[in-house]
Amino acid sequence: MNKAGLGLSDLSIAPRKAERQTEEVAVALTPPTPPSTEKVGGTMLPKPSEKQRRETAEARAIAQEDVRYSLKNLKRSKQRNVKFFINIALDYELKARLQRAASENDLKMTAVVKAALDYYLTENEY
């Protein structure tokens, strides 16, 4: 699209602010009707009794406790999948072999070490 090809007819223009304000002022100038006492009395909510308030509070507390327990269980299940790190001191030659194996196979060194440990443990029946 070319900038030179745009004209005023291609753009939408919002109405001026003054027109909107005059409409709002006209609406604001109309006096509000006072609410009748009959309507107010009919729309008010009844006050719950002490027993009803206690039941709703107990139900809310039980629901919050259930949420709290489910959140704890969720955190516990996430903790089971936590990775455990080990520090291994490698000599220079072994580390060079590990780096070469990782680069030749397009893997990370940790993946090679994990595979080697897994292989060793399964071969020795652990």
> Side chain identity at 57, as an amino acid letter?
A
CA dist 98 and 111 (Å) reads 10
Give per-residue pLDDT as tens, 30-40: 555 655 555 55
pTM for the complete prediction? 0.36
**DSSP per position, 77-92:** HHHHT----------H
CA dist 106 and 117 (Å) reads 19
Average pLDDT of 52-73? 91
* Between 23 and 103, the higher pLDDT residue: 103
Q: What are the residue ranges spanned by the domains of the chain?
A: 50-82, 84-126
Class at the top of the CATH hierarchy for domain 84-126: mainly alpha
Average pLDDT of 38-48? 68
Q: What are the backbone dihedrals phi and psi of residue 43, each rounded to the nearest 5 degrees, phi first?
A: -95, -10
Percentages (nearest 5) of helix, strand, coil residues in the chain: 65, 0, 35
Place of tokens 């996430």: 78
The region of weakest confidence among 15-29, 85-99, 101-115 is 15-29
For the chain, the average pLDDT equals 80
CA atoms within 13 Å, Cβ hemisphere of 121: 7
**76: left (phi > 0), else alpha (psi -120 to 50), else beta?**
alpha
Q: Is the pLDDT of residue 85 over 90?
A: no
